[in-house]
Chains A and B, each alone.
Chain A
Amino acid sequence: MTDVVSLLLPMFAGAPLLVGGILLALPRQHTVRSVLGMVSLLAMLAGAVLLVVLTADGTVIAHQVALWPGGISIPFVADLFASLVLTVTSILAVVSFQYMIASREARSPSIASFVLILAGGVAGALLTGDLFNLFVFIEVMLLPSYGLLLVLSRQGDLGGARLYVTVNLLASTLFLGGVGLIYAVEGTVNLAELAGAAVDNPATAVAAAVCLGAIAVKAAVFPVHGWLARTYVVTSPAVTALFSGLHTKVAIYVIYRIYAVVFDGDATWLVIALVITSLTMVIGVFGAMGEPTMRSILVFHMVSQIGYILVGVGLFTQLGLTAGIFYLLHHMIVKASLFLSTGAIEQTYGSGRLDQLGGMRTREPLITAAFVIAALSLAGLPPFSGFVAKFSLILATIDAGQVIVGIVAIAVSLFTLLSMLKIWAAVFNGKLPQDSERRAAEARVRETAGLLDDEPVEAAAVDAEMQAVRERHDTARAGESDDDTHDHHGPRVPLRLALPALQLAAITVCLGIGAEFLLGLSEQAAAGLIDTTDYVVAVIGQ
């Protein structure tokens, strides 16, 4: 079984790329594209789950591409850590694509291909055992992302999209420079051959630090986090959810992997990591305070949460890594759920600004449920997965003697809760502003006409759309009694847009109640990072 699967490892990257390319040849059949895209992503999810099952006991599956001997070929390696991250990224790809189909964004000719190529690139980046190949797969991830960002952006201002390309390209260039330096010092870029190299040779440590610095830009770690909040807000909510789960988290995965393998968890540099991660936690949560829209608040919280996740690598104890890996998996799901639930509101009501929304508590019970669950989980309240993640992380900091980091983590989670309450008070409580109905109608007119947000719309068309919605609504509610005091005019979030966020919220509840299961897996994955012998033996065979 393991042999067959190891032969198929490169297909995790190859198959989505192939299907993505084929789908580009079907510009008219958007149903076919959606179905094929969804089937491929589900197949990838199934494959990832299979990998988790096979590696759950600590086995490392490796495949040498073209069957060259280990050390010469490009290896594909799946250990439990990679398999777990791959599973959750596949879940996010499936759910985000489901949202894109529901919001009709997937009808645009290239979207299904972009999502598949992105998923293929992510799988490649997670499974590759070669630093240069990692660079290539990161570029494979980025190219479709530029497309998604641009095609699904409704903003006339391209500033955010350009910033995204520039920052990511600069980081990739720097990373490639680091890879070149490592090759110059060690004569190899095979991760398994580089095991422990940075401890033996300070020059390798410097070269690998260039790589880590470049990847830290992509992970949006303080002080290089500024681009995130300006770029993730310019595109469609589904794309933000997809990126939040895939891009920054793959970068975090790479940081964990490089530090565990190349630096062998060297304790000398951990203090720097802990200072940076604590600052990231604090700066992110304070940055969220002045933000005017739901999405920009959530993006700043992402920065803060990235700090939490990297505390795991900053401690580099068994307990710390376990907590960090659990946190990473939990965070990907919860954050995407929040982006999708607030995104459904944003797309239905035509605005994501706190001051232009209100009263969702009575209008949108499903979205409210999804938001409350995910928001409380993000803040770290039981019985959701966020509680387990934060509790184990704080226990790990105390266990490692880093009490200050633990205190920072607790204080920051209080501020996180405060931010979630701010969104709750502004968007879910209170009343929907009078002009909201008009704004929603305007958003729909723009969407049908394909106009950008800074282009003028005809007032008459908006009036007609508002009238049409009212009439449709009155016929639908003709038989119902009129004794309830709330304002029920205007459109609601359709069930199909609410479902993706609800599914992810359900996962965080399950992970919270059945945390023992995932904690066990995270512990095994952490053990694989602390003792990398199995990884090295599986790749170069000695």
Chain B
Amino acid sequence: MSLALTIGLLMGAGIYLVLQRGMMRIIFGFILLTHAINLLLIASGGVARRDAPFFGGDTSQAADPLPQAFVLTAIVIAFSITVVMATFAAIGRRDDDTEPDSLTPADLGDEGEEVRS
């Protein structure tokens, strides 16, 4: 039950953040969302059985290794995509709505131009 509640909480918070303006908040939202999905994958293998299948552990009580492999892969992919999204946030120039509306585009400067050449 605690796992289900955690997944729900992470999912809700993630969706809330993804719906915000500004790339950074969307990135944080996706980090929470991928955590929620990773927990879901772990849960899909059943969390009651936790023994190791070696060193004398009971194989009928061994944890399911496949969802763990899924999660490992998913973590790596999520990590690389977070980096890509962070790049998008960093090279954004005049069009990111992260700043309050009172600032005009001229106040924000033009950093990151050489990245795009």
Contact = CB atoms under 8 A, between A and B. Distances in A.
A180 interface: yes
A165 B85 contact: yes
A505 to B, nearest CB: 34
A173 B70 contact: no
A158 to B, nearest CB: 5
Most buried by A among B37, B44, B80: B44
Interface string B34-47: 10010011011100
Contacts of A39: none
B89 to A, nearest CB: 8
A139 B66 CA distance: 19
Interface in A172-195: 173, 176-177, 179-181, 183-184
Nearest to B44: A184
A169 B37 CA distance: 13
Contacts of A173: 30, 33-34, 37
A150 B94 CA distance: 15
A180 B77 contact: no
Contacts of B13: none
B23 A177 contact: no
A136 interface: yes
A159 B21 CA distance: 11
A162 interface: yes
Nearest to A186: B44
B71 to A, nearest CB: 9
Given A143-B84, A157-B95, A173-B33, A166 B44 contact: no
Contact of B43 (A157, A166, A179, A184): A184
B88 A169 contact: no
B8 interface: no
B117 interface: yes
A159 B40 CA distance: 31
B44 A180 contact: yes
A162 B70 contact: no
Given A156-B93, A165-B88, A143 B44 contact: no
A233 interface: no
A169 B23 contact: no
A146 interface: yes
B74 interface: yes
Contacts of A157: 94-95
A169 B96 CA distance: 19
Nearest to B23: A162
A260 to B, nearest CB: 24
A176 B88 contact: no
B81 interface: yes
Interface string B92-104: 1111100000000
Contacts of A166: 18, 26, 85
B67 interface: yes
Contacts of B85: 165-166, 169
B37 A177 contact: yes
Interface string A143-176: 1001000100000111101100110011001001
B18 A158 contact: no
A479 interface: no
A162 B88 contact: yes
A360 to B, nearest CB: 31
B30 A169 contact: yes
B13 to A, nearest CB: 14
A450 B84 contact: no
Contacts of A454: 94
A176 B37 contact: yes
Contact of B70 (A139, A156, A180): A180
A158 B95 contact: yes
Contacts of B92: 158, 162
Contacts of B77: 136, 139
Contacts of B73: 132, 136
Contacts of B95: 156-159
Nearest to A151: B116
Contacts of A161: 88
Nearest to A450: B117
Interface string B43-71: 11100000000000000000000110010
Nearest to A132: B70
B116 A452 contact: yes
Contacts of B43: 180, 184
Most buried by B among A132, A142, A450: A132
B7 to A, nearest CB: 9
A183 B44 contact: yes
B18 A181 contact: no
Given A170-B33, A180-B67, 16 more contacts: A132-B73, A136-B73, A146-B88, A150-B116, A156-B93, A156-B95, A158-B91, A165-B88, A166-B18, A166-B85, A169-B81, A173-B37, A177-B40, A179-B41, A183-B66, A184-B43
Interface of B: 18, 23, 26, 30, 33-34, 37, 40-41, 43-45, 66-67, 70, 73-74, 77, 80-81, 84-85, 88, 91-96, 116-117
18 contacts: A139-B77, A143-B84, A146-B84, A156-B93, A156-B94, A158-B91, A158-B95, A159-B95, A162-B23, A162-B26, A165-B88, A176-B74, A177-B37, A179-B41, A180-B40, A183-B66, A184-B45, A454-B94
Interchain residue pairs A-B with the least CB separation, the first 9: A184-B44, A180-B41, A183-B44, A180-B44, A180-B40, A157-B95, A139-B77, A177-B37, A176-B37
